[in-house]
């Protein structure tokens, strides 16, 4: 049993036990799509605490496939769906909410544009109605894998091109204004095949781009990271890998000014392909590398730095889970700040399931999107998994300046009801009730209960009594 007492106020919080590094509970899973093939590549939590998903659908739309956006509420219930495209093939790989509450999605199209395959950018309202669409390309094969809003109201798009540049394919970076009109384009690469998978604006106003290269490096394919200034002029490039194959799918700038890149490696690790994690400093020099995986193929498609300084990655595994080794499962990996494993989780069934995108959510949990063949109507469907916080319960005590009032904030698994009794009620998000209130203490990892807190005897005149009902198992 553990107790926390708050100074002269003699307010004690008692919990029967505290977990050490628990894995998050699954709050819910959802399937979206129809009777054909539908695959989600990107998810983001939205300002209303719901989610936006992007990918492609063969089940709906004008052709096959079409760009497919799905908007949900905070419980994964569908609010609306939209398709975009023509009679040929169109797909989105990345989606982000814009400052006006709308969305920007990037991918590829063979229905429109100058070539056999062009970059496709779709801008919508908050209800998914198209405001404009744009294509970018020069007659060859172009595709976008990543889009981000920029501080000037425009967008930065990364992918690859066979029409421009030095090699068979080059990194392709496009900067647009708020209407999607091109401000500039850049290519990066050598005489071989170079493909960008991820782009992020950086704190110095420039950009960092990650993908894979056959033009440079030690092996057949290597991680390839390009750092640019605000006009996309190259500041430095680096390759990472061994004598075989490495492929980078995702990169983020980290709080120390460096970068974290994730993908897979067949040069290092336990077996055929393993998740490959590379931490680099602000100049691209390697700080450390890690591999994670088992005897099958395992890879990361998406990475985010977490609030504790560690990292969360989503991808696919043939080493662990219900369908392995024949079929892949969703794979969620959490590490500390040095890339060492804290926990892993798999999700899915006995057929192919794979994750492409992960994001930390405001409740301390994670949202993971990808595809599932195990669940849904038939073939692949969009598959969305919501987890709770790593510590399933999180309690904050707020005190006012006079010390005569206490209020509790409780965040737990979203599927639970909670009861809080105090003389002053907090808002739904659990913010302090007003000026003069401050955080007095925080407890995490409180297990299932019931768990109760009561004011001690010397608080009796104030009649303060708080009960928190824990979640049912």
| The pLDDT of residue 1 is above 50 | no
**For tokens 């920029």, what's the residue?**
150
CA distance 463 to 423: 8
> And the tokens for 422?
């105090």
Closest CA to 29 of 92, 67, 77: 77
What's the first-to-final CA gap in the chain, in angstroms?
21
Rounded CA gap, 132 and 110, in Å? Answer: 17
Q: Give the CA count within 13 Å in the CB-facing half-sphere of 275.
A: 32
How far is residue 328 from each of residues 42, 291, 320, measured CA to CA in Å?
A: 19, 18, 8
Among 204, 139, 203, 150, CA closest to 173: 150
pLDDT for position 461: 28
Give 91-121 pLDDT, tens digit per residue: 999 999 999 999 999 999 999 998 789 999 9
The pTM of this model reads 0.81
Question: What local confidence, expressed as pLDDT, does residue 435 receive?
Answer: 54
Yes or no: say if 48 and 42 are a contact pair by the CB < 8 Å rule.
no
Structure confidence by residue, pLDDT tens digits, 422-465: 333 333 334 444 555 555 444 444 443 333 343 333 332 222 32
Give all domains of the chain, ordered by start, each with its CATH number: 2-19+392-468 (no CATH), 26-387 (2.130.10.10)
Secondary structure letter of residue 472 according to DSSP:
P
Strands 311-317 and 298-305: antiparallel
Which residues are paired to 248 by β-bridges? 263
pLDDT at 395: 47
Tokens of 83: 């398709």
**What is the arithmetic mean of pLDDT over 212-217?**
96
Average pLDDT value for residue range 226-254: 97
Query: pLDDT tens-digit profile of 371-402?
Result: 999 998 778 999 999 998 775 444 444 444 54
Q: For the segment 420-429, what is each residue's pLDDT rounded down to a tens digit?
A: 333 333 333 3
Buried/exposed 183-204: b ≥16 CB within 10 Å, e otherwise: eebbbbbbebbbbbbbbbbbee
**How are beta strands 90-97 and 78-84 bridged, if at all?**
unpaired
**Local structure of 459: helix, strand or coil:** helix
Which of these, 12, 131, 110, lies nearest to 63 by C-alpha position?
110
E strands in 318-405: 329-335, 341-347, 353-360, 366-372, 381-387, 394-400
Q: What is the mean pLDDT of the chain?
A: 83
Exposure of 31 by Cβ count < 10 A (0-12 exposed, 13-18 middle, 19+ buried)? middle
């Amino acid at each position: 049993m553990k107790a926390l007492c708050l100074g002269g106020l003699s307010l004690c919080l008692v919990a029967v036990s505290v977990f050490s590094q628990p894995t998050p509970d699954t709050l819910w899973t959802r399937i979206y799509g129809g009777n054909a093939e539908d695959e989600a590549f990107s998810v983001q939590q939205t300002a209303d605490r719901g989610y936006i998903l992007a990918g492609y659908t063969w089940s709906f739309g004008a052709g096959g496939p079409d760009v497919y956006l799905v908007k949900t509420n905070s419980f994964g219930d569908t609010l609306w769906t939209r398709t975009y495209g023509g009679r040929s093939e169109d797909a989105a790989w990345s989606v982000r909410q814009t400052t006006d509450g709308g969305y920007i999605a990037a991918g590829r199209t063979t229905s429109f544009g100058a070539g056999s395959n062009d970059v496709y950018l779709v801008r919508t309202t908050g209800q998914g109605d198209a405001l404009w669409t744009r294509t970018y390309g020069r007659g060859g094969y172009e595709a976008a894998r990543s889009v981000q809003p920029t501080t000037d109201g425009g967008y930065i798009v990364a992918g690859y091109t066979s029409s421009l540049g030095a090699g068979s394919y080059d990194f392709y970076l496009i900067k647009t204004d708020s209407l999607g009109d091109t401000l500039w384009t850049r290519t990066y690469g050598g005489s071989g095949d170079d493909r960008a998978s991820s782009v992020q604006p950086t704190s110095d106003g420039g950009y960092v781009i990650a993908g894979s290269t056959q033009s440079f490096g030690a092996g057949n394919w290597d991680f390839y990271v390009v750092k640019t200034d605000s006009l996309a002029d190259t500041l430095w490039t680096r390759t990472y890998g061994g004598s075989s194959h490495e492929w980078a799918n995702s990169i983020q700038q980290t709080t120390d000014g460096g970068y974290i890149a994730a993908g897979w490696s067949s040069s290092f690790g336990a077996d055929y392909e393993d998740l490959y994690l590379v931490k680099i400093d602000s100049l691209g020099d390697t700080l450390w590398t890690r591999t994670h995986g088992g005897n099958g193929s395992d890879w990361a498609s998406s990475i985010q730095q977490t609030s504790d300084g560690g990292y969360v990655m989503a991808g696919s595994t043939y080493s662990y889970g219900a369908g392995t080794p024949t079929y892949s499962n969703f794979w969620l990996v959490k590490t500390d700040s040095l890339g060492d494993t804290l926990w892993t989780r798999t999700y899915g069934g006995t057929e192919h399931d794979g994750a492409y995108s992960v994001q930390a959510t405001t409740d301390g949990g994670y949202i993971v999107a990808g595809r599932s063949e195990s669940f849904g109507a038939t073939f692949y469907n969009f598959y969305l998994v919501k987890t709770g916080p790593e510590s399933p319960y999180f309690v904050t005590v707020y005190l006012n300046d006079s010390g005569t009032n206490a209020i509790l904030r409780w965040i737990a698994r979203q599927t639970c009801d909670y009861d809080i009794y105090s003389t002053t009620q907090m808002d739904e998000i659990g913010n302090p009730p007003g000026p003069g209130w401050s955080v007095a203490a925080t407890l995490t990892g409180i297990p299932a209960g019931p768990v109760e807190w009561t004011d001690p005897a010397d608080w009796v005149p104030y009649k303060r009594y708080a009960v928190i009902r824990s979640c049912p198992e």
